[in-house]
Structure 1
Amino acid sequence: MYSKASASEYVRRFGLSLNEWRIISLLWAAGTLSLSRLSHQAQFDRGLTSRTVNALIDNGYVARHRNPDDGRGLVLELTPKGNDVVATVQPVASERNRQLLSCLTQKEAEIFDAVLDKLTHQARAMLDIEREKALQENHHKEASID
């Protein structure tokens, strides 16, 4: 319910999907990221990340450049327009989160943060295991074809 309300507000007020806002906020926090790293941090599959990033590039929020460290890979970063939208959306997102959490006591908020951290860690571990299984299955399939 909260995500749907947030998504609706982001689209209505800023023309951004929740996935687009997630990508923008991660790039804002990191500065530059590769598509793979961004996908991992957003916890999106590469296809969803790629489609979302391409839409953000088309709309002028994100730029893709050669990695200055190795010249081979590509990195993503916010454009000035992307930084401007962060300055506009961030206060709204922060206020929305504050309102949501306002019904919790200080102790409940601390417990909630700890539980959320544990669940996030567990979900990432489970996702890593699933990815590893998929890689192993693909490797076995490729080996059996050869």
Structure 2
Amino acid sequence: MNVRDTPQSTSHLGLEGLLNYRIQRLASKMTLLTTREVLKKRGIGISEWRLICRLIDNGPQTPTVLANMLGLDLGRTSRLLKSAETHGFVNRKADQNDRRSITISLTPKGQLAFEDAWPDACTVAEEFRQLYSPEEAAVLDELLDRAIRHANERL
């Protein structure tokens, strides 16, 4: 069966008609711009950046919680944590009540990396937001929130 033979309303557009494909393309391009213009010169990888931002927003977390927040499996999360720890952005601390459990927290270097890069990362994001009027941006936010809620419910 050809992609264009499906009974969907966007089937005549092929791959370009799939919402998930279009959103992923945009996300990939925005990630590439953020990496090139903000992170690379600071020695921060995009996955490390997302980890740092999650820890800024949510405080210290277990690797399992971080994996869920980042949408990664535990193996990828483990490798990411090792890299971020090697770069000095995070540290691991054994739980005092359960030595088998560890908590990941930002180091002062991780906090400084965030404070240094955040304004520039916001500038990249704001450039895209400026493509829309305030009303359009509010509608886009609502549509994205609705799609994210639906995806979360399906998972």
- Scaled by the length of structure 2, the TM-score of the pair is 0.75
Name the SS of the counterpart of 2:132 in structure 1: coil
Q: C-alpha distance in 2, partners of 1:112/1:44?
A: 26
Of 40-49 and 50-59, deviating more is 40-49
SS at match of 1:60: coil
What's the counterpart of residue 106 of structure 1?
134
Letter in 2 for 1:92: D
Could you report, residue by residue, the CA deviation over 1:88-130 in whole angstroms, capped at 9, with x for unpaired residues?
A: 011111111111101101111111111111122222233x3xx
What corresponds to 1:137 in structure 2? Answer: none
Counterpart check, 1:42 vs 2:100: no
Compute the RMSD of aligned alpha carbons: 1.5
**Counterpart for residue 36 of structure 2:** 8
Distance 1:11 1:34 in 2: 25
Q: CA deviation at 1:16?
A: 1.2
CA drift at 1:11: 4.1
Q: Secondary structure at the match of 2:131?
A: coil
Q: Distance in 2 between matches of 1:86 and 1:47?
A: 25
Match of 2:58 in 1: 30
Q: Does structure 1 retain, via aligned residues, the 8 Å contact 2:38–2:120?
A: no
Q: In 2, Cα distance between the equivalents of 1:19 and 1:95?
A: 19
102, 111, 116: which one aligns with 1:83: 111
Q: Which residues of structure 1 form unaligned runs of 5+?
A: 129-146
Per-residue deviation at 1:67?
A: 2.2
CA contact (8 A) 1:22 1:42 kept: yes
What amino acid is the match of 1:82?
A: G
Secondary structure, aligned partner of 1:104: coil
Separation in 1, partners of 2:37, 2:153: 32
Structure 2 vs 1, CA of residues 99 and 24 (structure 1 numbering), >3 Å: closer, same or farther? same
Aligned length: 127
- Using the size of structure 1 for normalisation, the TM-score is 0.80
- Give the aligned residue type for 2:115: A
In 2, Cα distance between equivalents of 1:102 and 1:68: 47
Tell me whether 1:57 sits opposite 2:85 in the alignment: yes
Query: 2:92 is paired with a residue of what secondary structure?
Result: strand
Q: Which stretches in structure 2 are left out of the alignment for 5+ residues? A: 1-28
